[in-house]
């Protein structure tokens, strides 16, 4: 969990640890990571350890990247060797402060496509969790009122991420190739706008409608 000391990373770490997965919190500073992990472990009742980012990436089976857009490429590139052959779940939203409620997608179409190009095809990059409220994730007794759009060019890797999402009670959808992450990345700014406009304190989310079994 690279960026595991941030809001979204913290929330995901708590949920997965509670669901029985072993989680390694990564941070630039190993001491910070270990300290954060100890705190999260006691909150989740699960197994959470801390390590410097490249150590964490090395030890993990599946790596999650949950850092601000501004450091996404730099951090992932720095640990690239440890990502080869693994699934990298990229949670990055290309927010450009100060106008975070305005969609400002990068020239590549989406932040995650730019990342995949830099990391190369040996890393199986999957985009997910952009729209799930960190606030809701961290409230372990509360529901997560948001569906997940899971995008990636490798359907089997996408399915693994869908299963990881379902393990923490999130309804996940195969949402198409990595290019389709533009929708999820753009939606986050829309949800931030809606949160402000309609005073939604707990975080707006999305649901996909139309499935008859509902």
Q: Rule CB under 8 A: which residues touch a second copy?
A: 101-105, 109-110, 133, 145-146, 149, 173-177, 179-184, 186-187, 189-191, 193-195, 197-198, 200, 202-212
Nearest-angstrom CA–CA distance, 211 and 2: 34
Q: How far is the CB of 54 from a second copy (least distance, A)?
A: 32
Q: How far is the CB of 98 from a second copy (least distance, A)?
A: 14
Per the listing, tokens 């952009």 go with 130
Are β-strands 172-174 and 148-152 bridged in parallel, bridged antiparallel, or unpaired?
parallel
Per the listing, tokens 């640890």 go with 17
Q: How far is the CB of 174 from a second copy (least distance, A)?
A: 5
Nearest-angstrom CA–CA distance, 52 and 47: 17
C-alpha 203: how far from chain center:
16
Between 84 and 197, name the residue whose CB sits nearer to a second copy: 197
Strand partners, 123: none
Between 13 and 175, name the residue whose CB sits nearer to a second copy: 175
Q: What phi and psi values does residue 105 have, to the nearest 5 degrees?
A: -70, 145
Q: How far is the CB of 209 from a second copy (least distance, A)?
A: 4
CA distances from 91 to 78, 87, 210, 214 (A): 17, 13, 26, 27
Between 37 and 137, name the residue whose CB sits nearer to a second copy: 137
Between 10 and 127, name the residue whose CB sits nearer to a second copy: 127
Q: How far is the CB of 138 from a second copy (least distance, A)?
A: 16
Between 75 and 162, name the residue whose CB sits nearer to a second copy: 162
């Amino acid at each position: 969990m690279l960026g595991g000391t941030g809001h979204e990373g913290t929330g995901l770490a708590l949920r997965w640890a509670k669901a029985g997965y072993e989680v390694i919190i990564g941070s630039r500073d190993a001491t910070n990571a270990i300290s954060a992990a100890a705190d999260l472990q006691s909150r989740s009742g699960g197994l959470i350890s801390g390590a410097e980012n490249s150590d964490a990436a090395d030890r993990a089976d599946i790596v999650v990247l949950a850092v601000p857009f501004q450091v996404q490429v730099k951090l992932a590139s720095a640990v690239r060797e440890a990502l080869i052959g693994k699934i990298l779940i990229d949670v990055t939203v290309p927010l450009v402060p100060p106008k975070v409620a305005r969609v400002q997608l990068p020239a590549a179409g989406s932040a995650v496509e730019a990342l995949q190009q830099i990391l190369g095809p040996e890393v199986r990059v999957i985009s997910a969790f952009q729209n799930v409220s960190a606030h809701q994730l961290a409230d372990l007794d509360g529901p997560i009122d948001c569906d997940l759009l899971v995008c990636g060019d490798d359907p089997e890797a996408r399915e693994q991420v869908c299963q990881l999402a379902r393990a923490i009670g999130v309804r996940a959808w195969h949402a198409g190739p990595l290019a389709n992450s533009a929708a999820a990345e753009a939606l986050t700014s829309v949800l931030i706008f809606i949160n402000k406009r309609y005073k939604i304190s707990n975080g707006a989310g999305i649901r996909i409608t139309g499935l008859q079994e509902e």
